[in-house]
Chains A and B, each alone.
Chain A
Amino acid sequence: MTLLLLILAIIPLIAGVVIKIMFVPASSGIDITGAHIFFTIDLPMGGLPITEAQVNSWLVILSLFFFCLFLTHDLKTTDMSIRQLIAEWIVEKVEGLVRSNMGEFFICFAPFIAAILGLSACSSLLTLIGLFPPTSDINIVAGWAIMTFILITYYKFKAGPWIYIRSFGEPVPFLAPLNIISEVATPISMAFRHYGNVLSGSIISVLVSALLTTLSQLIFGKLPGFLGEFPFLRIGLPAILSIYFDLFSGCLQAFIFAMLTMLYVSGGFPEDEYFKRKRMKEAKRKQQNVQLENTNGGI
């Protein structure tokens, strides 16, 4: 069972490699292209292209799903396995992060934050097995950013629409247009930040390896046979760049995306107003109950 789930978690990644080998035309040399479009679904309002980025993100979701099942199936209270300890460590860390950044009220956000962290980090790390990283396509990241924007707006509405509208007129009412612009800019800047970092990393890597290929052809081009064609200078430096751009930058952007989600949601939530309103509602209900009892008693 354990082994089966682990294999199920690895299969989507292998499937991604197979799909890439079978359907994506091999690029000759160095070129910078966007996601490959597999096919287009015709809808009444226009074509819906199914791209490499979408397929890869579905594969990451599947893989993470089975990996979570692998970590959390068959939980025990005594003599725990390493698997369970890892799962508990992840849950504890994320809950601590959410508690320290958002407060006790938002502790229900921990699974969502963990999902964003895992999905984003694994999507960026997909470059390590040579697949197209979904996070370097703006559509995927913009989807997450819009989801975050909806959450922010929902929590701003928690204390009633009047307080939401009034928050635009702060600190002075004539700044309202600027406040509206900054409200709209939140998801755009979140999407651009994540996508721009991953994409610029991959472009710089491609440019550096193109430069090194040309250089090694200039230097070793005169050597006979295989030795002349093999780009010797490409050994080493691109790997070091990859450590920064793929490993460090990918994980850092995932962390920053999750962190900004937490800060925006808890920052936009009008805490005092919400609790005041809640208390008032409870007091009202109590009063009504008392009145009801009085009328009942009177009869």
Chain B
Amino acid sequence: MLELAIGIILGGCALGAGCAMIAGIGPGIGEGNAVAAACEAIGRQPESRSAVTTTMLMGCAVAETTGLYALVIAILLIFVAPGRFVNILLDAIG
């Protein structure tokens, strides 16, 4: 019975981590848009290349933030949460 409970905890944590990383879609689309616009701008004005590249990298970094929140949640769910939850379960059983 205990094995089953721990198995459900591990499976739930893994599934949760996978679901959290769905958030990776958002930054992907956002950064794609940013890079597309930057390419367009460079194509129109090749002399502004360095300024556009710097601004684009900054924008990409800011757009990445939500994805990184999801990444941190996923890392916590995989490496930290199972131990905690199993401990809580064992405490509850006594």
Whether A109 is near chain B, meaning CB under 8 Å from some CB there, is no
- Residues of chain B within 8 A (CB-CB) of A270 are none
Whether B79 is near chain A, meaning CB under 8 Å from some CB there, is yes
- Residues of chain A within 8 A (CB-CB) of B71 are 196, 200
B57 to A252, Cβ gap below 8 A?
yes
A193 to B65, Cβ gap below 8 A?
yes
A193 to B64, Cβ gap below 8 A?
yes
Contacts A/B (CB < 8 Å), 7 sampled: A32-B79, A192-B68, A192-B72, A195-B72, A196-B68, A200-B71, A256-B58
CB neighbors of A among B6-65 (8 A): 57-58, 61-62, 64-65
Q: Nearest Cβ distance between residue B60 and chain A, in whole angstroms?
A: 9
State the A residues within 8 Å of B (CB).
32, 34, 189, 192-193, 195-197, 199-200, 203, 252-253, 255-256, 259-260, 263
B65 to A199, Cβ gap below 8 A?
no
Q: Is the interface of A mostly helix, strand, loop or mixed?
A: helix
Interface residue from A34, A192, A253 paired with B69 (Cβ < 8 Å): A192
B65 to A192, Cβ gap below 8 A?
yes
- Residues of chain A within 8 A (CB-CB) of B81 are none
Q: Contact size class for B?
A: 10 to 19
Complex formed: what's the CA distance from A197 to B72 in Å?
Answer: 10
Q: Nearest Cβ distance between residue A195 and chain B, in whole angstroms?
A: 8
Q: Which 5 A-B pairs have the closest CB atoms?
A: A196-B68, A256-B61, A189-B65, A196-B71, A192-B68
A259 to B58, Cβ gap below 8 A?
yes
B72 to A196, Cβ gap below 8 A?
yes
Complex formed: what's the CA distance from A199 to B68 in Å?
Answer: 10
Q: Nearest Cβ distance between residue A204 and chain B, in whole angstroms?
A: 11
Whether B86 is near chain A, meaning CB under 8 Å from some CB there, is no
Complex formed: what's the CA distance from A260 to B61 in Å?
Answer: 10
Complex formed: what's the CA distance from A203 to B72 in Å?
Answer: 12
B57 to A256, Cβ gap below 8 A?
yes
B61 to A193, Cβ gap below 8 A?
yes
Instruction: Identify 10 new A-B residue pairs, CB closer than 8 A, beyond the known A256-B58, A259-B58.
Output: A32-B79, A34-B79, A189-B69, A192-B68, A192-B72, A193-B65, A196-B72, A256-B57, A256-B61, A263-B58
Chain A: which residue is nearest B51 at the CB level?
A: A100
- Residues of chain A within 8 A (CB-CB) of B64 are 193, 197
- Residues of chain B within 8 A (CB-CB) of A260 are 58, 61-62
